[in-house]
Amino acid sequence: EAEQGYENKPRILLMGMRRSGKSSIQKVVFQKMSPNETLFLESTTKIVKSEIASSSLISYSIWDLPGQVGYESNPAFDNEGLFAQTGALIFVIDAQDNYREAIAKLHTTVLRAYEINPEICFEVFIHKVDGLSDDAKTVRQQDIVEHVLANIADAELEDQIQISFYLTSIYDHSIFEAFSKVIQKLIPQLPTLEQLLDILISNCCIEKAFLFDVVPKIYIADDSSPVDMQTYELCSDMIDVVIDVGCIYGMGENDDTGLGYDAESASVMHLNNGMVLYMKEVTRYLALVALLREDKYEKHGLIDYNVEAFKNAVAKVFEPRQ
Ligand code: GDP
């Protein structure tokens, strides 16, 4: 059963102070909410807010860190199982706010989580940077990174703890880009997937190819040529279009995911700059999106053949080990 390969889904935990933007990130990335609508999201008081995106390659949960509650006195925080299963802990810091308290919470969280699970990757999203000038962005980023690293060094853990920083905003693609980087670290099959994409693009004269996790529209792998933002945005917009059309007109009775996305999903768009955008379903969660020159697409029998071979290879990659 193809489903089995996904059983041990890597888990991502999204944490941060209340109002730092966690629910907005979730809605925008996983539920296609438009960023402006997040202004009206209601704040909840629960600690663990939700488990989301079960139909994705990765599973996620969101955790609020209310300012007034200390970890020690909070039984929910002693949920060792949660940290033990977590591959990456994303900590969201609101860069437009006073972030001293957030940095302190981040530090306690890092120590606690590391104690339970030393393998965890810590990912700090310096968030809401859309409201800041370029200079202010740099200054805040330096300040936050310096403080966080100094705290870790004080605890003498600087050589053990894996921590990365990203500037993010829900108003542009930076949040998707950051998520992609985080997820790529958690996919042990990544080098194989990259290799398969490289083979595919060289056999088919493709300019750029991405493998997208369709639900959160995050790319989990790309070929080794450099990514330019415009190509990435184009490819990710294409997934929206295909899924929107699929949801409206294409829902067959076999659509058990309700996604409007199935084994038949495929699309080809000829752009007015002589390029072709090509999308094809690869697995239940994954889609290949490629950009190539129109004259290379003329021999598309060859491309279809190679994509089929690619699809079979990816299916093998995710097959459960015997
Ligand atoms: P949570 O309590 O951490 O889940 O925070 P929310 O998701 O409820 O967000 C709090 C507020 O921050 C909302 O009004 C959002 O519209 C706003 N917000 C979230 N992300 C961004 C962002 O990237 N930029 C800006 N300017 N505002 C954001």
Question: What does 52-90 look like in DSSP terms, one character per residue?
Answer: E-TTSSSEEEEEEE-TT--STT-GGGG-HHHHHHEEEEE
* Atom number of ligand 1 nearest to Cα 170: 23
Residue 154, SS3?
Answer: helix
Give nearest CA residue, ligand 1 atom 14: 39
Cβ pair 12, 90 in contact under 8 A: yes
ipTM over the 0.95 cut-off:
yes
At 4 the pLDDT is 38
Give nearest CA residue, ligand 1 atom 17: 21
At 294 the pLDDT is 94
At 159 the pLDDT is 92
Alpha carbon distances (Å) from 313 to 8, 62, 189, 193, 203: 20, 34, 12, 9, 15
CA of 75 to the centre of ligand 1 (A): 27
CA of 19 to the centre of ligand 1 (A): 6
Cβ pair 143, 182 in contact under 8 A: no
At 61 the pLDDT is 73
At 319 the pLDDT is 76
The answer to whether the CB of 21 is under 6 A from ligand 1 is yes
At 91 the pLDDT is 95
At 6 the pLDDT is 42
Amino acid at 216: P
* Atom number of ligand 1 nearest to Cα 131: 26
34 exposed, middle or buried (CB, 10 Å; 0-12, 13-18, 19+)?
Answer: exposed
The answer to whether the CB of 19 is under 6 A from ligand 1 is yes
Give nearest CA residue, ligand 1 atom 10: 19
The answer to whether the CB of 27 is under 6 A from ligand 1 is no
Which residues in the chain show pLDDT less than 50?
1-7, 72
Beta bridge partners of 48: 63
The answer to whether the CB of 49 is under 6 A from ligand 1 is no
